[in-house]
Amino acid sequence: MARIESRSLRVSIWRGKTQGRFVDYEVPARDNQTVLDVVTWVQRHREPSLAYRFACRVGVCGSCAMTVNGRPRWTCRTHVGKVAGNGRLIVEPLRNLPRIKDLACDMTPFFEKWQRAGGRFKGNAGRGDPIPRLDPSSAQRREADAGIECINCAVCYSACDTVAWNPEYLGPAALNRVWTLVNDVRHQEQDRIFEAVGKQGGCHECHTHGSCVEYCPVELNPTASIAGLKRRSLSRLFAGGSS
């Protein structure tokens, strides 16, 4: 059992929806404690009605992202000691998404943009067909593999200033997703992807700020994926493909 020390953390948590306020809590500081542990402690001991979202607690499901001391983070893998140097934590919902209550955001626009970008895999092989052989060392497959481990936490989407300025913009996660499909030889709807990313709100609106790379908890590089989409869409344009 973790040792409870006399030290404590001063934690401000956003309560309410768009209209609301920060409420301060004293939370016991422990040697090993994540931000999610802190939020859970507040919910169990001080504020039973506190709304927040989590599932796996081990950095796989991508559901617990919040804004911690001004930065988007996966709270289950964010050690308090690394972000609250002076024992102070400010926890808010993610930016760029509609708020539901307290720390819970509505993820609908985030996932709708995945669909709008053409992020759903569509193969052409049936049950009876042989399993396609993929060469993991091919350049194309390496591009796909580099972006495939996205956990859909929306940290990049929240960190992106272009999303903040332009609500139409598909955002780093959706564009990173379709870049993995562009490089998947089994995917059949390449044209649909380039049609979607060549529209308003598509890949060309990225400013290459790199906030998505900076904050991605699983260290993906959506900026590079988006640059790949820009390059590929240009070469398709000159080859007479769709724009």
Angle between helices 139-147 and 172-182 (to 10 degrees): 150
Q: How far apart are CA 25 and CA 94, in angstroms?
A: 20
Shortest CB 205 distance to other proteins, Å: 7
CA atoms of 70 and 211, how far apart (whole Å): 13
Rounded to the nearest 10 degrees, what angle do helices 108-116 and 172-182 cross at?
30
Give least dist CB 122 to other proteins, A. 22
The distance of closest approach from Cβ of residue 154 to other proteins in the complex, given in angstroms and rounded to an integer, is 21
Q: 77-86: long-range contacts (C-beta < 8 A, 24 or more apart)?
A: 77/34, 77/217, 78/34, 78/35, 78/36, 79/32, 79/33, 79/34, 80/9, 80/29, 80/33, 80/34, 80/35, 80/37, 80/38, 81/33, 83/35, 84/9
Q: Quick one: 105 or 170, whose CB is closer to other proteins?
A: 170
State the amino acid at position 55 in one-letter form. Answer: A
Q: How far is the CB of 129 from other proteins (least distance, A)?
A: 34
Backbone angles phi, psi at 91, to 5 degrees: -115, 125
CB-nearer residue toward other proteins: 124 or 242: 242
Measured from the CB atom, the residue of 23 and 227 that comes closer to other proteins is: 227
Identity of the residue, 40 or 223, whose beta carbon is nearer to other proteins in the bound complex? 223
> In 3D, which of 80, 87, 11, 76 has the Cα closest to residue 46?
11
**Total residue length of the chain:** 243
Quick one: 93 or 118, whose CB is closer to other proteins?
Answer: 118
Residue ranges that bind other proteins, judged by CB under 8 A: 162, 165-166, 194, 198-200, 202, 204-205, 230, 233-234, 237, 243
Q: Which is nearer to other proteins, 141 or 236 (CB)?
A: 236
Of 12, 77, 123, 99, nearest to 219 (Cα)?
77
